[in-house]
């Protein structure tokens, strides 16, 4: 059985969710961790019995033999670190977004192609059984024409990491990204966007210090998927609480599907069709899916020589939508979207015969 050697850069909050997922897989050998606060990397190496730790990512890339880099650093560092790793011939799994500007994101796809490796990015929500069920119901035609969708996801916002509140951070990049990924997965690529965004809480305490909020903390966007199909997404660091009976809903001419829980942690799918005439709850079992299982899934695909069912191009499309949304909010204009990703109504359920990396 082949194993993929994996290294992690960024030993902050989210690494505690990723590492257990990676260690569970028979296809993963976690060989190194890296953080510029080197004591964090050292602690991880000790706690998880890992052979190598580093304080510098270039040194990690030079000195350790591995196939997949898992990038869990702050968002503004995703692009540059991903590029370094791809140039050194490593596959990359990156927390969202894969870069914070579009030209870097396109460059990452190009470098990956040139080097014969892959780049994939969170969120990994498209492979949850609940998402898959919604996609299958939409593509089966049981809902008629799916014309209308909503997504909402917010919380109070992190009390750590000032970068969350500076340019290149913000609620849309950190949270809205989930709903944008889910709704473009379900309804297809977007042609244009309009949005409103701002900082509703201009100052907040982060890492114990009063910090000025420069990025969006309260954002609303409307996505045009073409053929008069529209979705609406709201996201923010301003939500004390949120009812999560459903957070994603897709309405069609013959029925409706709604996701119980969040798209990153769904509990099931509620469905109504003209044919059944009643609401039913399906896809209640998430089969071990875990939102931090994306890197594990990619490692397993690499080990088994399988084409992953998620695409770097989709992550770039989502990034373009988010950048365009912030531009629309700033200028008051509707912004056209140029990128796309492999999608068709028939394929929107994605080809997931093996999603063992779900968790
Ligand atoms: N925290 C969560 O619950 C959560 C959930 C889902 C996704 N994410 C995403 O995960 C990523 C990381 O978030 P986090 O909450 O863990 O942030 P964090 O600030 O806790 O961790 C980031 C880590 O990166 C390290 N780092 C910074 N510069 C570095 C460099 N040049 N080289 C090596 N390491 C460096 C920092 O020292 C820190 O340990 C973000 O993209 C975030 O959006 C976080």
Q: How far is the CA of 227 from the centre of ligand 1 (A)?
A: 39
CATH number of 4-121: 3.40.50.720
Q: Which residue puts its alpha carbon closest to atom 44 of ligand 1?
A: 14
pTM value is 0.93
354 has pLDDT over 50:
no
Cα–Cα distances (Å) from 18 to 147, 248, 301, in that order, read 36, 25, 17
Mean pLDDT of 347-359: 42
pLDDT (0 to 100) of residue 345: 67
CATH number of 126-286+310-350: 3.30.360.10
Mean pLDDT of 55-83: 97
For the Cβ of 74 lying below 6 angstroms from any atom of ligand 1, the answer is: yes
For the Cβ of 57 lying below 6 angstroms from any atom of ligand 1, the answer is: yes
Mean pLDDT of 211-219: 98
pLDDT in tens, 101-144: 999 999 999 999 999 999 999 998 999 999 999 999 999 999 99
pLDDT (0 to 100) of residue 103: 96
Q: Which atom of ligand 1 is nearest to the CA of 161?
A: 19
For the Cβ of 33 lying below 6 angstroms from any atom of ligand 1, the answer is: no
The segment(s) of the chain belonging to CATH 3.40.50.720 are 4-121
| Cα(148)–Cα(213) distance, integer angstroms | 33
pLDDT (0 to 100) of residue 348: 57
Q: With cut-offs at 50, 70 and 90, classify the pLDDT of residue 316.
A: very high
pLDDT (0 to 100) of residue 346: 62
Q: Which residue puts its alpha carbon closest to atom 25 of ligand 1?
A: 10
pLDDT in tens, 15-43: 999 999 999 999 999 999 999 999 999 99
pLDDT (0 to 100) of residue 48: 96
Largest Cα–Cα separation, the chain: 62
Residue with token string 């301003």: 238
* The pair of three-digit structure tokens given for residue 13, joined into one six-digit string: 């909050």
pLDDT (0 to 100) of residue 343: 83
The segment(s) of the chain belonging to CATH 3.30.360.10 are 126-286+310-350
Cα–Cα distances (Å) from 52 to 12, 38, 63, 268, in that order, read 17, 12, 10, 40
pLDDT in tens, 152-203: 999 999 999 999 999 989 999 999 999 999 999 999 999 999 999 999 999 9
Mean pLDDT of 254-282: 97
């Amino acid at each position: 059985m082949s194993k993929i050697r994996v290294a992690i850069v960024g030993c902050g909050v989210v690494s505690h969710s990723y590492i257990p997922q990676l260690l569970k897989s028979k296809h993963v050998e976690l060989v190194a961790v890296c953080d510029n606060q080197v004591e964090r990397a050292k602690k991880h190496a000790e706690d998880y019995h890992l052979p190598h730790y580093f304080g510098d990512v270039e040194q990690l890339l030079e000195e350790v033999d591995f196939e997949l880099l898992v990038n869990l650093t702050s968002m503004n560092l995703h692009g540059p670190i991903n590029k370094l790793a791809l140039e050194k011939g490593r596959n990359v799994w990156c927390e969202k977004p894969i870069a914070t500007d579009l030209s870097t994101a396109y460059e990452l796809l190009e470098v990956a192609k040139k080097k014969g490796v892959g780049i994939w990015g969170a969120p990994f929500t498209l492979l949850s059984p609940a998402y898959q069920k919604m996609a299958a119901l939409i593509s089966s035609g049981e809902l008629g024409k799916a014309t209308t969708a909503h997504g909402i996801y917010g919380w109070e916002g992190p009390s750590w990491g000032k970068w969350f509140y500076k340019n290149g951070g913000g609620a849309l990049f950190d949270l809205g990204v989930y709903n944008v990924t889910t709704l473009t997965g379900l309804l297809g690529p977007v042609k244009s966007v309009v949005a409103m965004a701002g900082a509703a809480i201009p100052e907040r305490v982060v890492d114990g210090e009063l910090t000025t909020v420069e990025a969006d903390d309260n954002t609303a966007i409307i996505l045009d998927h073409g053929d008069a199909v529209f979705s609406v997404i709201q996201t923010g660091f301003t939500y004390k609480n949120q009812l999560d009976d459903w957070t994603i809903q897709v309405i069609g001419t013959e029925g409706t599907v709604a996701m119980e829980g969040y798209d990153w942690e769904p509990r099931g799918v509620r469905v109504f069709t003209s044919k059944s005439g009643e609401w039913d709850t399906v896809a209640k079992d998430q089969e071990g899916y875990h939102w931090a299982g994306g890197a594990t899934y990619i490692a397993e695909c690499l080990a088994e020589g399988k084409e992953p069912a998620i695409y770097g191009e989709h992550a770039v499309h989502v990034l373009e939508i988010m950048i365009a949304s912030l531009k629309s909010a700033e200028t008051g204009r509707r912004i056209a979207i140029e990128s796309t990703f492999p999608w068709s109504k028939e394929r929107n359920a994605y080809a997931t015969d093996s999603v063992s990396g779900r968790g």
